[in-house]
Structure 1
Amino acid sequence: MSDQSKRKRPLVADKRYPSKGKAAAKKPAKKPAPKKPVAKRKAAPKRAKRGGITGLFSAMFRWIFRLIWKVTWRITAVVVLVLSLAVGYFYTTLPPLEALLDGRARGSVTMQDRYGDVFAWRGDQFGGVVTADSVSRHLKNAVIATEDKRFYRHFGISPRGIASAVRINLSEGRGPLQGHGGSTITQQVAKLLCLGEPFDPNAGLTEKEYESACRRTSLQRKAKEALFSMAMEVKYSKNDILSIYLNRAYMGGGAFGAEAAAQRFFGKPAAAVSAAEGAMLAGLLTAPTTLSPTNNLDRSQSRAATVIRLMREQGYLTEAEAAQAQANPAELSEAAEAKAGGYFADWVMSTGPEFFTRNTTEDVIIKTTLDQRMQSAAEEGLKWVFENKVRKGSKAQAAIIVMSADGAVRAMVGGRKTKVAGAFNRATQALRQTGSAFKPFVYAAALDLGYSPNDLIDDSPYCMTIPGSGEWCPKNYTKRFEGMVTMTQALKDSLNVPAVKISESVGRDLVSQVASQFGIQSDLAAGPALALGASESTLIEMAGAYAGILNGGSSVTPYGLVELRLQGDEEPLMGTGGGIGERVIQESAARQLVYMMEKVISEGSGQRGQFGGRQLAGKTGTTSAAKDAWFIGFSADYVAGVWMGYDDNTPLSGVTGGGLPTDIWREVMSRVHEGLPLKDLPMSTPAPLSDFSDEGQDGQNTGNGGGSGTVIDQILNEIFGSSGSGSSAPNPEGGDR
C-alpha cells in the first residue's frame, strides 16, 4: 500500500450554496470598481519626551499645578458657600429701610424767639427724612464725588479702594488698617448702623464708648463690616443705601442728616441747596466737627472748594457751574451765624427741665422771650464801646442783660465773644461784688418804712467798732464829706456814709430781707459793709431786682422760657417759668425810689447814660480796688444791666461804674429804644422839706420830716454810742461816681 493512499484529504469547506447551473458557473466574475486613492493623513508629530532633569521638573510642575487647581476650586467653592451663608445671615437681620433713617440717640431742641422765629437749635437735630432722589442733585453728586466715586459700580466693598488705602497707610508709616480706610459709602453706612448692634444702656458702656467701639478698625471688625455691607447691597437698592447715609450721617453743629444740616447752616431744605452749599455739606462728612462752618467758616469753604473741583473732574458740574460755585462760596444763614443762640440759648437750656432740654429723647420746641433785634443791639453796643473807648489788647470782660419789667429776658451777652455756645456766661454764672449798685435796696427798705427822699442825713466822718475786726470808718469815693444831704442827693452822688447810716438805722436784717425778696439769692454780708455792696450777686439777679423797682415794688423771677411743647403737638407741656411774684415794698415807696434813681442819671454819677431825651433811672457801682464796675438802669419800657471786670479779679484801670459800663448801657439802650415812643417813668415827686416837728412818735420819719437825719444820728448814738470820730481808717468797699 502506497503512502499516497494513506494521505488525508485536504480540508475543503463544504459548499454552503448549491450552484444554479452551469451557465451560472461559467458567468465571468464582475470586476470591482477601481478604488479612489485615499489621501494619507500625516501622522501627528510625536512630542519628544524630555528626558533627564528638565523632564522631571516639567512633570512635577504639571502635577503640582493640577493639584493646586483641584484644591483651589474646592476651597473657593467652600469660601463662596460660607460667604453666602454669612451674607445671608446678615441679610435676615437687616430691618426695613424706614427703621434705619433716623439714627439719633437723643432728641432735639428748637428754640423760637418771642415772635415765633427759629433762632437756635440744640441736641441732635433731625430735620426729617430725605431720599437720594428728593435732595438737591448737587448734594447727591457732591457726596458721591467725595466719598465714593464708584458707588454705583461696586458690590458694597471696593478692593481697589482698600488696596489704595493700605498702600497710602504703609507709605505714611502707619499700619495697613490705620488712617485711610478705603471705605465705600455702603461700608460707612454699616459703621453708622454699628453693624446691626443697637446701643444697650445696660451693657456697661456709655453711649460714647459704644460709638467708639463701633468705629474701631480691627481685622475682625473690617471682615464683619464687609459681610454686612454685601448683605445691604443685596437687601437694599443703591439709592436706598445712599438715602440711609444722607439721613444718618453727622454733619456738625448738632445736625444729623442732610435736611437738618441744610436747615441749620443755610436756612433752607436739602432739596434746594446750591452747588456751593451741597459741596460744603458733603465736605463736612470727612470731619464734621472740625470743618463745621459754625466753628470755622473759612476752613469749611476751603474744603467745599476741593469738593467742587472733584465734581468738575467727574463730570457732575460744567466748567461754568464750577466757576460760579467757586466764585460764590456758601454762606451761613443768620441763625447759623448766631451759632445756636449763644449765651441766651445756653441759659434757657440750663433753666428748663433736664428731661426736655439737656437729656431729651424727644424733639422739643421751646418758645422763648428773646428779641433778636435787641440781642443785636446789645452785641453792637458792646462792640462799639470796646472798639472806640477801650485800649487795644485789653482782656477786660463785660456782660449785658436786657429784660422787661416782668422779668422776660430780651437779650443776653455773657462775654465779649458773642458768637459762642457752651462758654462761661458772665451774665448768669459770675458771682461778683455789687458795690454801690446794691444801695437802692437800702433806700427801698427805708422808704417802705416811711422815710422820704427829702430826709436829711449827715454825711460826715463816721466810724464803727466791729467785734473781732476793730474800728471801721467808711469813706466816699471823692475822699470828701458833704455834710447834711437829702437821701436823694446821697443816692445821686453815691455817698457811702449816708448809705451805711440808713442801713444801720432801719436794720441790716430788713435791708437783707428786702434785697432777698427782690431776687438777690446769694449770701448777703452780715456786717455794716452790706450797705456798700460787699455781697456778691450775678448780673441777672441784679437786673431782675431792679425790674422789681420798675414794676412798682413786686419781686421778679427772670425767665426766658415761654412755652415748651413736643414737635407735632399743639398743646404745650409747660408754660412760663418766671415773671412777677409777691410784693416786696409798697408801690408808693417804689415810685419814690424811681424818682431818686432818676436823679442819678439826670444829675448824678450816671449822667453819661442819658440819650434821646428819655426819662431814665439807674445806679452805678464800683467795688473795692475797682475790681468790678456796674451800671443797672431802666426806662419805662426795659431794664438793662452791665457788668465789667476781669475774670481773674485784676483791678480795672481808671474805670468806675459811671464810666465805661454806663457808656455800654447807653449804647445798648439807645439801640433798643429806636423807634419806641417816649414814656414817662412811674415815679412820684416827694413832698417838699418840712420842719422837724413832722416826725413820728417812734423816732421814724413819716415821709415829710426834713430833720430825720438828726433822728437817724440819734438812733445810731443809742446803738453805737457815737456817730463819728473822724478816723482815717481805709474804706475797703469804696464808692463810685
Structure 2
Amino acid sequence: MARKRLVAPKRTRRSTTKSRKASPARAKQAPRRSTRRRRGGPRRRRGLLGWIAAPFVWVFRLFMALMLRGGIIVALMIGAAVIYIYSTLPEYQALLDGRSRGSVTLLDRNGEIFAWRGEQFGGQISTGTVSPYLRDAIIATEDKRFRYHPGVDPIGIATAIRINLSEGRGPLSGHGGSTLTQQTAKLICLGVPYDPDKWEDETAYEADCRESSLWRKAKEAVYALALEAKYTKDEILTIYMNRVFLGAGSRGFEAAAQRYFGKSANEVDAAEAAMLAGLLVAPTRYAPTANLERSQNRAAVIVRLMEEQGYLTTAEAQRARQNPARLSAAAEARAGGYFADWVMSQAPDFLTTKTTEDVILRTTFDQRIQRAAERALQHVFDTKVKAGSKAQAAIVVMSADGAVRAMVGGRRFKGVAGQFNRAIMAKRQTGSAFKPFVYATALELGYSPLDTVVDEPTTINVPGSGPWKPENYTRNYRGRVTMLEALEDSLNIPAVKVSEAVGRNNVRRVATDFGIDNELANGPSLALGVSESTLLEMSGAYAGILNGGTSVTPYGILDLRMKGESSPIIGQTGGLGERVISTSAARQLVYMMSKVIDEGTGTRAQLGGRPAAGKTGTTQAARDAWFLGFTADYVAGVWMGYDDNTPLKGVTGGGLPAEIWRETMLRVHDGMPVHALPMEGPTTPAAPEPAPQPQNNDRIVRSPNDKLIGRVPNTPANVAERIINDVMGRIFGN
C-alpha cells in the first residue's frame, strides 16, 4: 500500500486572506512580543572596546550639554552688553571729530597754505557727499563684506587666521580680520574718553586704544555689534572716514585730501582715492609726502582690488594706473619746515603746539624765496663740496625790517617737525662777521672810514690772563691803513685797535642793541668775534645796518586767529625797534661793507650789476665760516660748519659761504629791478690813527634810557686828542 507524501496543503490567495482576517488578535500581539524582546530580552555584551569608549562618550555628552548651556549664557551676556553699550552711544554726528587737540594752518605772506601742524581736520564729510571712488576704495581695501556682516565677520577672521598660519605666525598675529565696524570701535576707543589723570599723555591714550590683545579684540567685537545695532552702515562708514588718521597730521579723509591734493574729499578721482585708501594700512610709511613712489605703488594695489570687486571698470582702472595721483604744489614743496617750526615756537603753546582749537597763523614766509635758498644750497653742495661730506649749512633771508622770508636750518630737511634748526639753535663764534659792529661804534663816535690805524704786531696785557698777541689771518702786516681798508680786507689788528680806542663797552652796547642777545666777551678779543651768536640774530643785526641804523627783532608771525574768526588774537611779533646808530653812520658803514664785496675778501659774492654789501667771517681753526650781507631789498646770512665743531678744510667765509650767499641772492632777485644801496662815501678828511686807550664811556652822549643817540663830532679838540693818543702809543708801544 503506497504511502501518502507528507506535503503541506497548497495555499490559495483566498485562504490566505481569510486567515489574516480571522486572526486580528495575533496581528496585534506581534509588535508587543517584539517590544518585549527588545526591552526584556538579554542585553548584548559591549565587549572590550565598548567598555573603553563608554567613559569618553559620557564625557562628550556632558561637555556638549555644558557647551549648550554655556553658549546660551554667553549669548545672553553678549546681548546684555550690546544693549548696555547701545544705550550709551550718542548720535553719530557727535563722533565725527575725534581729535584730542586742534590744528595750526600756516599761511605765507600771500595767504597761501605752506605748512600744517597738529591734527588737521578739514571738516565733516559723509558717505552721501564724499567721492564714490573714495567710498568704494575704502570698502574694497578694508572690508569687502562690510555691507553684509553684523559687525563681526567670521569668514574674514577665518581667512586672517589661515593667512597668519601660512606665513609662519601665530593665528592672531598679523592679519586680524577686523571689520570696518570693529576698526571704528577702535577709533572711538570703545567709548572711553581721554582722561589726563589716567594717561600720562595723549600718546599713551592712543596706544591703549590700539591694544590688540585677545580680550581687547573680544570687547571690540561686542562694541561693533552695538554699533551695528545703533547706526546704519552709512553712518558707521561716515564715522570711520572722519576719524581715521592718514599721516602728515591729517585726521579724516577730508583733511588728507586737502593736505595731499589741495582739494576736497568730495572731488578726488579714482587714482587719488586709491592713494588715500592705501594710507590706511600704514599712514606714516605710505604718506605721499614721505615717499611719493611708494605711495603710488600702494595705490596701484588698491586700484586692482577695486577692479576685481567691480567698483571700477577695466577702462577706469587702466586710466587710474596710467595717471597716478600727484601731490599738490604746497604738499610737494613741503616748504618751510624749519620756518614753520620756528614760528610755532614764537607764539604761546596753548595757541600752537597744545592748541585744542583750529588756528590760522599768517606769516612773513615767501615760498619763492624759500625755494631759491634751498636750490642755491643744493647747487653749491652738488658742485663744490666733496661727495659724502657731513658739513652743514644754514641760510636766513629777511627784509630790512626783520620780516623773515626764508629759513634753511640745515641740509636734507625730512619734512617732519622738530628737527635741529641751525639757523636759530646753533650758537657759534661769529669771527670777523662781528667787525662791522666795531666800525659802527667808531663811525657813531665821529670817526671817518678814511681814518687810519697801523696794522703791526701788537701785544695787549689782559688783566688776569697776561699778554695777548692777536694776529692777522695771513700773518702779514700792512702798516698804516684806513678803517675802510681794514674792514675790506678783514684785518684783525686794526679791528682790535679800533675796538680798544672806542671802548669795548661801547662796542658791546652797539652789538647788543642791534640784536646780538648773548653774553659778549669782555676782553680785547671781543673785536675778533670770539663771542657766540645765532645766524638769525646776526642776520637781524645786519638788517639794522641796512635800514639806516635802527634795531630790528626778526619776526615771522603777522597775526594769529581762530579758524572762522576775522579778528586776530595775536598781531605782529617783531619788527623795527629803537635807533642804535645815526643814519649817516649806518650809510657810511654800508659803503665800507660794499667794498668788501667789490674789492675785498667777499668778491666771490658779487651779484654782477646789482650793488651789494656784506662781510665774511671765519673763526679760529675754521670751525665756522660765515657770510652775511644785503642788497637794497633783502638781507641774507649764511653759516657753514660741522655740528661737532670739526674744522672745515680749506673753507673760509669768503669761499663756499660767499658762493652760497651769491647763488641764493641771484635766485631771490631774479626778475627784480636793480636798486642802489643806501650808502654814502666818506666826506671828511682822514684823521690820524685811533690809538688804543682806556675804555671811555664818557665820550658817548646817552639818553635817559641809556641808549646811544648821537656821536661826538670831529671838533679840533677831539682831533687833537687823537693825535696825542697816537703819539703816546708810538712812544710807549701801543
Query: Do these two structures clear the TM 0.5 threshold for a shared fold by scoring above it?
Result: yes
1:251–1:288: 8 Å Cα contact kept in structure 2? yes
Partner of residue 112, structure 2: 117
1:553–1:583: 8 Å Cα contact kept in structure 2? yes
TM-aligned CA deviation for residue 92 of structure 1: 0.4
Partner of residue 236, structure 1: 231
SS of the aligned residue for 1:202 comes to coil
Quote the Cα distance in structure 2 between the aligned partners of 1:282 and 1:116: 30
1:126–1:259: 8 Å Cα contact kept in structure 2? yes
Distance 1:68 1:702, change over 3 A: closer
1:692–1:705: 8 Å Cα contact kept in structure 2? no
Task: Report the identity percentage.
Answer: 61
Q: What letter matches 2:647 in structure 1?
A: P
Quote the Cα distance in structure 2 between the aligned partners of 1:554 and 1:296: 46
2:101–2:355: 8 Å Cα contact kept in structure 1? yes
Partner of residue 446, structure 2: 450
Partner of residue 563, structure 2: 567
Query: Superposed, which structure 2 residues align to 1:191-230 within 5 Å?
Result: 191-230=186-225
Partner of residue 515, structure 1: 511
Match of 1:364 among 359, 362, 371: 359
Quote the Cα distance in structure 1 between the aligned partners of 2:208 and 2:300: 33
Post-superposition Cα deviations, 1:289-319, rounded to whole Å, max 9, x if no partner, equal 1222222222222222222222122122222
Partner of residue 44, structure 2: 52
TM-aligned CA deviation for residue 703 of structure 1: 6.1
Quote the Cα distance in structure 2 between the aligned partners of 1:265 and 1:274: 13
1:622–1:630: 8 Å Cα contact kept in structure 2? yes
Partner of residue 355, structure 1: 350
Query: Superposed, which structure 2 residues align to 1:263-278 within 5 Å?
Result: 263-278=258-273
Partner of residue 577, structure 2: 581
Partner of residue 401, structure 1: 396
Does the alignment pair 1:165 with 2:157? no
2:587–2:678: 8 Å Cα contact kept in structure 1? yes
Partner of residue 544, structure 1: 540
1:612–1:670: 8 Å Cα contact kept in structure 2? no
TM-aligned CA deviation for residue 54 of structure 1: 6.2
Does the alignment pair 1:140 with 2:135? yes
Q: Quote the RMSD (CA, aligned, Å).
A: 3.2
Quick check: which has more Rg, 1 or 2? Answer: 1
Does the alignment pair 1:639 with 2:647? no
Q: Greater shift after overlay, 295-304 or 578-587? A: 295-304
Quote the Cα distance in structure 2 between the aligned partners of 1:579 and 1:477: 36
Partner of residue 187, structure 1: 182
Q: What letter matches 2:338 in structure 1?
A: Y
SS of the aligned residue for 2:407 comes to strand
Query: Superposed, which structure 2 residues align to 1:43-442 within 5 Å?
Result: 49=38, 51-53=43-45, 75-172=70-167, 174-339=169-334, 341-421=336-416, 422-442=418-438
Q: Greater shift after overlay, 304-313 or 578-587? A: 304-313
Post-superposition Cα deviations, 1:87-142, rounded to whole Å, max 9, x if no partner, equal 10000011111110000001000000001011110001000001122221221111
Quote the Cα distance in structure 2 between the aligned partners of 1:62 and 1:537: 88
Post-superposition Cα deviations, 1:341-391, rounded to whole Å, max 9, x if no partner, equal 311101111111111111111100000000111111111111111122222
Quote the Cα distance in structure 2 between the aligned partners of 1:142 and 1:67: 49
Quote the Cα distance in structure 2 between the aligned partners of 1:674 and 1:299: 35
2:335–2:367: 8 Å Cα contact kept in structure 1? no
Partner of residue 3, structure 1: none
Quote the Cα distance in structure 1 between the aligned partners of 2:380 and 2:67: 81
Does the alignment pair 1:503 with 2:499? yes
TM-aligned CA deviation for residue 160 of structure 1: 1.9
SS of the aligned residue for 2:284 comes to coil
Does the alignment pair 1:469 with 2:451? no
Distance 1:302 1:613, change over 3 A: same
Name the count of aligned residue pairs. Answer: 688
1:543–1:640: 8 Å Cα contact kept in structure 2? yes
TM-aligned CA deviation for residue 443 of structure 1: 0.6
TM-aligned CA deviation for residue 666 of structure 1: 1.0
1:102–1:248: 8 Å Cα contact kept in structure 2? yes
Partner of residue 624, structure 2: 628
TM-aligned CA deviation for residue 478 of structure 1: 2.2
List alignment gaps of at least 5 residues for structure 1. 1-35, 725-737
Post-superposition Cα deviations, 1:536-564, rounded to whole Å, max 9, x if no partner, equal 11000000000001111111000000010
Distance 1:682 1:54, change over 3 A: same
Distance 1:97 1:483, change over 3 A: same
Post-superposition Cα deviations, 1:390-434, rounded to whole Å, max 9, x if no partner, equal 222222111111100100000111112145332111111111110
SS of the aligned residue for 1:562 comes to strand
Q: Greater shift after overlay, 73-82 or 569-578? A: 73-82
TM-aligned CA deviation for residue 165 of structure 1: 2.6
Quote the Cα distance in structure 2 between the aligned partners of 1:542 and 1:92: 63
2:448–2:687: 8 Å Cα contact kept in structure 1? no
Q: What letter matches 1:208 in structure 2?
A: T
Q: What letter matches 2:474 in structure 1?
A: T
Q: Greater shift after overlay, 710-719 or 192-201? A: 710-719
Distance 1:595 1:155, change over 3 A: same
Quote the Cα distance in structure 1 between the aligned partners of 2:421 and 2:645: 16
SS of the aligned residue for 1:679 comes to coil
Q: Greater shift after overlay, 699-708 or 232-241? A: 699-708
Q: What letter matches 2:629 in structure 1?
A: G
1:693–1:705: 8 Å Cα contact kept in structure 2? no
Quote the Cα distance in structure 1 between the aligned partners of 2:336 and 2:376: 18
TM-aligned CA deviation for residue 59 of structure 1: 12
Q: What letter matches 1:113 in structure 2?
A: D
Q: Greater shift after overlay, 377-386 or 461-470? A: 461-470
Q: What letter matches 2:347 in structure 1?
A: G
2:448–2:684: 8 Å Cα contact kept in structure 1? no
SS of the aligned residue for 1:457 comes to strand
Query: Superposed, which structure 2 residues align to 1:663-682 within 5 Å?
Result: 663-682=659-678
Q: What letter matches 1:263 in structure 2?
A: Q
TM-score, length of structure 2 as denominator length: 0.87
Partner of residue 610, structure 1: 606
2:514–2:551: 8 Å Cα contact kept in structure 1? yes
List alignment gaps of at least 5 residues for structure 2. 1-16, 692-697, 701-710
1:622–1:629: 8 Å Cα contact kept in structure 2? yes
Q: Greater shift after overlay, 661-670 or 389-398? A: 389-398
SS of the aligned residue for 1:641 comes to strand
1:691–1:706: 8 Å Cα contact kept in structure 2? no
2:450–2:686: 8 Å Cα contact kept in structure 1? no
Quote the Cα distance in structure 1 between the aligned partners of 2:55 and 2:373: 90
Quote the Cα distance in structure 1 between the aligned partners of 2:665 and 2:55: 98
Match of 2:520 among 501, 510, 524: 524
Post-superposition Cα deviations, 1:566-602, rounded to whole Å, max 9, x if no partner, equal 0010100010000000111111111111111111112
Quote the Cα distance in structure 2 between the aligned partners of 1:61 and 1:482: 111
Post-superposition Cα deviations, 1:649-696, rounded to whole Å, max 9, x if no partner, equal 11111111111111111111111112221211111222152576999x
Q: What letter matches 2:44 in structure 1?
A: G
Quote the Cα distance in structure 2 between the aligned partners of 1:536 and 1:210: 42
Quote the Cα distance in structure 2 between the aligned partners of 1:585 and 1:390: 39
Post-superposition Cα deviations, 1:445-465, rounded to whole Å, max 9, x if no partner, equal 111111111111111221112
Quote the Cα distance in structure 1 between the aligned partners of 2:582 and 2:196: 55
TM-aligned CA deviation for residue 471 of structure 1: 2.2
1:127–1:259: 8 Å Cα contact kept in structure 2? yes
Q: What letter matches 2:579 in structure 1?
A: R
Distance 1:693 1:351, change over 3 A: closer
Partner of residue 686, structure 1: 682
Quote the Cα distance in structure 2 between the aligned partners of 1:473 and 1:234: 87
Distance 1:693 1:503, change over 3 A: closer
1:504–1:716: 8 Å Cα contact kept in structure 2? no
